[in-house]
Structure 1
């Protein structure tokens, strides 16, 4: 009976083709030749007795049955990876491949100082990093394309298990000539009276900063927004307004080369930094350990 069942390799080929819609790119993603991938897919279709892929000269399409098979194949591949993770968890901690996502408002400020220590403590760990926005990282976690992700919390994702690992306070950044630079602390009422520059929609730091200061979100089309924290700093340095920065970024030197000053917030607003992984994962203890090492938390 087993000889008549699809193989994981065949299912992986099909999922890759559904994602890339191109035989060459799908084969590259699977570390296979295009002819090997095509042959594997033909074997799968022959085994199932149905057409899963519509092949034309211009594009690749999944048949309705193909789309359903792809969805189930993703579940099977995730289950197979969980089995491998379960076996790995009984060996040495933090060894082998681990695919980690990190959001852009954390990655450049945390990773440079954390990765050297991680490599020193766990030289057998092969860490693969991907930087992206929170929603897309969580989609990749659900799809089994990532093992864990470093995020800013809270974030509504009930299918994930999350561990809060560090508090990252917000501070005001402004030119030294700005009126708020004279304050020892800045209140929410102060911020409501100035041009507050924020990250564009889609960055969770934007919502966390506004919530921390009890400020309403600007209506769509209002205000000036930046694509990154580095862009916001340059905008503030050019006199366009003030901004809120996480202390993690300030301590990592994001203000270097500017004369900007920072002031604490009277309301003590902050965000939580933490790690997320699938609830079904067998490597939960390893992920907690990874988070402790990344954030340099002392373990009992």
Structure 2
């Protein structure tokens, strides 16, 4: 039980306001109280403390020695209360609201279900809006603020964006199960040249990533079939129309027996999938909570190793 039952927050706020303004009139205006109501609050506080806090004349209001000693403590109590209330309020808000995430299609199909599933179990009150798009659209949505995050990769450094890395996703060869390259444990990039290559168009993020990474080995495939969606490339490979290069996370779970997947080496090329966000600008409470929850999830690490088959 308190030794000062007459001390309450209303009295502390009244005391701090009068001390700050050195005026009962101005304090009453700030607190939206009548002069008499403010006077009663100060009197109740002084009686509870058994101290005089102010010296009042018709022209001035000044703190007594006791009031001057008490003022920083009263301010500290109010500031601590405000900070605690803000913390509780933001924590509550972080569990409600809407979060918009833009995601490239390979991640949307193969990684997003796990990410969203884990997060939804932790934060069922948050409404998620998911946008599946190509890399250019994902990054544009994030830069323009239409999405809080993108789950994708960056081809090159972008001043407006930064990435929280989630996993390393190497590029692999997809070829028919009876193709000569399927007999290899690994395949070098130069060994792809004799074969018809099914590859993303030159404006796609994956194609730009490969062109940049393989510039030093003069990678210039010429027998090309250009496609827009990776799922299309896998269908063409299965039909025996060529070989293709795909990110490992895009390998279908039922690929074994229908197509062969082999590691590509000399060099090994991989993209880094992560949570793309704006460098500047304040994240919403929901977005901060999602980012923290994603960090606390079991690390996704690298995608699973490739086997023969």
TM score, norm. by length of structure 2: 0.59
Change (3 A) 1:206 1:255: farther
Residue matched to 1:131: 132
Residue matched to 2:152: 151
* CA deviation after TM superposition for structure 1 residue 97, in Å: 0.9
Q: Which runs of 5+ in 1 are unaligned?
A: 1-85
Matches within 5 A, 1:1-300: 90-92=90-92, 93=94, 95-213=96-214, 214=217, 216=219, 223-250=224-251, 252-253=252-253, 255=255, 259-266=258-265, 267-283=267-283, 285-286=288-289, 288-289=291-292, 291-292=294-295, 296-297=299-300
Change (3 A) 1:282 1:233: same
* CA deviation after TM superposition for structure 1 residue 295, in Å: 7.6
Q: Which runs of 5+ in 2 are unaligned?
A: 1-85, 302-309
Q: CA RMSD in A?
A: 2.9
Q: Please say if residues 106 and 249 of structure 2, whose CA atoms lie closer than 8 Å, have aligned partners that are also in contact.
A: no
Change (3 A) 1:88 1:234: farther
* CA deviation after TM superposition for structure 1 residue 294, in Å: 7.5
Q: Separation in 2 of the partners of 1:89 and 1:224?
A: 55
How many residue pairs get matched? 209
Change (3 A) 1:178 1:243: same
Q: Secondary structure at the match of 2:111?
A: helix
Q: Secondary structure at the match of 1:224?
A: strand
Change (3 A) 1:177 1:270: same
Change (3 A) 1:151 1:280: same
Question: What do the CA deviations read for 1:103-159 (whole angstroms, capped 9, x no partner)?
Answer: 123211112233222210111221101111222222222322111111123333211
Q: Please say if residues 192 and 215 of structure 1, whose CA atoms lie closer than 8 Å, have aligned partners that are also in contact.
A: no
Change (3 A) 1:215 1:112: farther
Question: What do the CA deviations read for 1:145-191 (whole angstroms, capped 9, x no partner)?
Answer: 11111112333321112222210112111112211111111002112
Q: Which of the pair has more CA radius of gyration? A: 2
TM score, norm. by length of structure 1: 0.61
Q: Please say if residues 155 and 208 of structure 2, whose CA atoms lie closer than 8 Å, have aligned partners that are also in contact.
A: no
Q: Please say if residues 186 and 264 of structure 1, whose CA atoms lie closer than 8 Å, have aligned partners that are also in contact.
A: yes
Q: Secondary structure at the match of 2:274?
A: strand
